[in-house]
Amino acid sequence: MTTALLTANPGAADFSDTTWWLVVIKALAIFVFLMLNTLIVIWFERRVIGRMQQRPGPNRTGPFGLLQTLADGIKLALKEDIIPKAADKAVYIIAPAIAGAMAFVSFAIIPFGPEVSIFGHRTPLQLTDIPVAVIFVLAVASVGVYGILLAGWSSGSTYPLLGGLRSSAQIVSYEIAMGLSLVPVFLYAGSMSTSEIVHAQTSQWFIIPAIFSFVVYVITMLGETNRLPFDLAEGEGELTGGFHTEYSSLKFAMFFLGEYVNMLTVSALATTLFLGGWRAPWPLSSINDGMFNHGWWPILWFVVKLWMFLFFFVWVRGSLPRVRYDQFMRFGWKFLIPASLLWIVAVATIRALPDITDTGRRGLFIAIGVLALIGGAIAWAVDSRSARRADEGGWDLGEIDPFAGGHPVPPLPGQTIAVTRGPRPRPADSERALTGAAPSTTEEDLRG
């Protein structure tokens, strides 16, 4: 049965010689890999952003500050664990566990390399693989958002609830665009199995013919992981800390850990689907019949590509400001999703053309991708300009006195500020007006 499957799918990973204890060893190796990379990437992020902002970053604890993240983790573990009085305790405790655990599960289907010999057994450098492995990652990410949503709801506070609702809305929106960006890869590879997708990129990485899908995926992976400029679920300028405002100690650390492990997951998936996975870059792939694509060398290429995406995460956080929530959602629904659908139709049509060479087909893909980007940019600019000209949503909510309550209140979209004449009311008089009490009389009023 296994031989027949491998004959039908020559790129499929063969786990027939993998024993149960070897599965345990690989699972522990993946867990250690993720934990170590999380410690390093947090230090790396603080150092790089520090340099971008002309400050040193962590440089005290350990050589070059390398132990600062470990010290922060110990500090979090020793902090007091506070549970709000209004919280639903059972859900409040389970939520960070869901968010943290789901972040680790997705890495089970990521291939780190080809088959190698471990203690006399031939096994792929991959924990497991299934025919719908990429869909499995999207499904796990959808479950992970339940941790964020339940955390916001169970905290019994307004700001966490708003953060949880924001996160669920943006992940639904951007997971649609992310899923659509992966469809051209499935069309090229003829499979959703990660090992078969890597095998299909033996002669050419999919980033070249599917450049538009790659750009869409890179944008959506920022929204999927709640990272700047799309960290609207935890925007400290609006929601204090968002869904984890009421969390402390190790529960907060679980959310923090889940975010960075999710960064590693989406980066590893981008490496696997668009950059050839563990395959060596040209010209190393052509040396000595591809000697750098065998043995343990591919782990090096995989890690290098992974860290290229992690650097992109850090660079974007230190460079771009946070966008407005309505802009973020409009960009997803009005540009990314329609453009991805058109791109899928174009890819399917061109691949079905009978009399066209591979070079011509590749040129058509690149030309359509460039035209899609230009057309999308023009449509986005026109839509933004029309939104600025008209009242947002087309609503007419009338006039508002911003000082009616004693404190300045900004107008809602569609409201206009009423021009008031005379002195502004004092806060004390406004409170009495709301309660029906008589306004206060001061010596200054009697003189006037």
In this predicted model, what pLDDT tens digit does every residue of 342-354 receive, in sequence order?
A: 888 888 887 777 6
- H/E/C letters for each residue in 66-83? CCHHHHHHHHHHHCCCCC
Residue 415, C-beta contacts closer than 8 angstroms, at least 6 positions apart: 397, 398, 399, 400
Pairing of strands 399-400, 121-125: unpaired
Nearest to 188 by CA among 166, 168, 163, 205: 205
Q: Look over the chain and give the mean of its residue pLDDT values, rounded to a whole number.
A: 80
In three-state secondary structure terms, 276 is: coil
Residue 12 belongs to a domain: no
Q: Which residue, 389, 416, 431, sits at the end of a domain? A: 389
Can you tell me the distance from the alpha carbon of 291 to that of 279, in angstroms, rounded to the nearest whole number?
Answer: 11
Over the stretch 2-46, which tens digit does the pLDDT of each residue have? 444 444 566 677 778 788 889 999 999 999 999 999 999 999 999
For 419, the token pair is 């021009």
Fill in the DSSP letter of residue 399: E
Residue 5 belongs to a domain: no
375 and 404 co-located in one domain: no
Q: Which range (180-194, 201-215, 362-376, 379-393) has the least confidence?
A: 379-393
Residue 445 belongs to a domain: no
pLDDT value of position 386? 61
Residue 163 scores a pLDDT above 50: yes
In three-state secondary structure terms, 152 is: helix
Work out the percent of the chain whose per-residue pLDDT is above 90: 15
pLDDT value of position 258? 85
Mean pLDDT within 268-290: 82
For 99, the token pair is 């968010």
Q: Which residue, 389, 409, 426, sits at the end of a domain? A: 389
289 and 409 co-located in one domain: no
Can you tell me the distance from the alpha carbon of 405 to that of 409, in angstroms, rounded to the nearest whole number?
Answer: 8
Q: Which residue, 354, 371, 389, sits at the end of a domain? A: 389
**Spatial contact of 350 and 366, defined as CB atoms under 8 Å apart:** no
DSSP string, 167-188: HHHHHHHHHHHHHHHHHHHHHH
408 and 378 co-located in one domain: no
Give the pLDDT band (50/70/90) at residue 100. Answer: confident
**Spatial contact of 137 and 109, defined as CB atoms under 8 Å apart:** yes
182 and 47 co-located in one domain: yes
181 and 143 co-located in one domain: yes
Domain that holds residue 287: 18-389
pLDDT value of position 444? 47
Give the pLDDT band (50/70/90) at residue 1. Answer: very low
For 165, the token pair is 């609702």
Residue 189 belongs to a domain: yes
383 and 408 co-located in one domain: no
Cis peptide before 229 (omega within 30 of 0): yes
Residue 178 belongs to a domain: yes
Can you tell me the distance from the alpha carbon of 133 to that of 193, in angstroms, rounded to the nearest whole number?
Answer: 5
Task: Classify the phi-psi angles of 314: left when phi > 0, otherwise alpha if psi is within -120 to 50, otherwise beta.
Answer: alpha
312 and 424 co-located in one domain: no
Residue 350, C-beta contacts closer than 8 angstroms, at least 6 positions apart: 356, 361, 364, 365, 368
Residue 442 scores a pLDDT above 60: no
Work out the percent of the chain whose per-residue pLDDT is above 70: 78
Give the pLDDT band (50/70/90) at residue 255. Answer: confident
Q: Which residues pair with 121 in a beta bridge?
A: 118
300 and 207 co-located in one domain: yes
CB atoms within 10 A of CB 267: 24
301 and 403 co-located in one domain: no
Question: In one letter, which amino acid is 69?
Answer: T
Question: In one letter, which amino acid is 168?
Answer: S
Distances (CA, A) of 176 to 43, 173, 234, 332: 32, 6, 21, 9
For 219, the token pair is 């944008």
Can you tell me the distance from the alpha carbon of 188 to that of 182, in angstroms, rounded to the nearest whole number?
Answer: 10
346 and 417 co-located in one domain: no
Fill in the DSSP letter of residue 97: H
Q: Which range (101-110, 160-169, 362-371) has the least confidence?
A: 362-371
Residue 230 belongs to a domain: yes
Number of domains in the chain: 2
DSSP string, 102-151: HHHHGGGG---EEEEEETTEEEEESS---TTHHHHHHHHHHHHHHHHHHH
Specify burial of residue 386 (Cβ count, 10 A radius: 0-12, 13-18, 19+). Answer: exposed
Mean pLDDT within 70-93: 86
Fill in the DSSP letter of residue 117: E
Residue 13 belongs to a domain: no
161 and 114 co-located in one domain: yes
Mean pLDDT within 433-446: 49
365 and 404 co-located in one domain: no
Residue 115 scores a pLDDT above 70: yes
Mean pLDDT within 327-334: 84
Q: Which residues pair with 123 in a beta bridge?
A: 116
Q: What is the pTM of this model?
A: 0.78
Residue 6 belongs to a domain: no
